[in-house]
A = this chain, B = another copy of it.
Amino acid sequence: MKVIVNVKLKNGVLDPQGKAVKHALNSLGFDEVGNVRIGKQIVLDIAGDDKEKIKADTQKMCEELLANPVIEDFEIIL
């Protein structure tokens, strides 16, 4: 089963990478671009088809490795 995990910085956490991209886009003439936030999208192939179990396991993977709970939020899409 294909599982998508989107990891992004929590609101209020400074995103220097996003700021850099914003300034670059503005300097390329895309003045309409305001705030930019950059996160990770992780696509996992997970064996099995028990959605509840896979969601619970993916939650653990996020808490243990894929996301930093102090500064990041994550979203699991089955």
Contact = CB atoms under 8 A, between A and B. Distances in A.
Interface of A: 6, 8, 18, 21, 24-25, 28, 30, 32-48, 54, 57, 60-61, 64-66
A42 B61 contact: no
**How many copies make up the complex?**
2
Contacts of A36: 42-45
A66 B21 contact: yes
Counting chain B CB atoms within 10 Å of each CB, the highest count among A24, A34, A43, A65 belongs to A43
A53 to B, nearest CB: 9
A34 B48 CA distance: 11
Contacts of A8: 41, 43
A67 B45 CA distance: 24
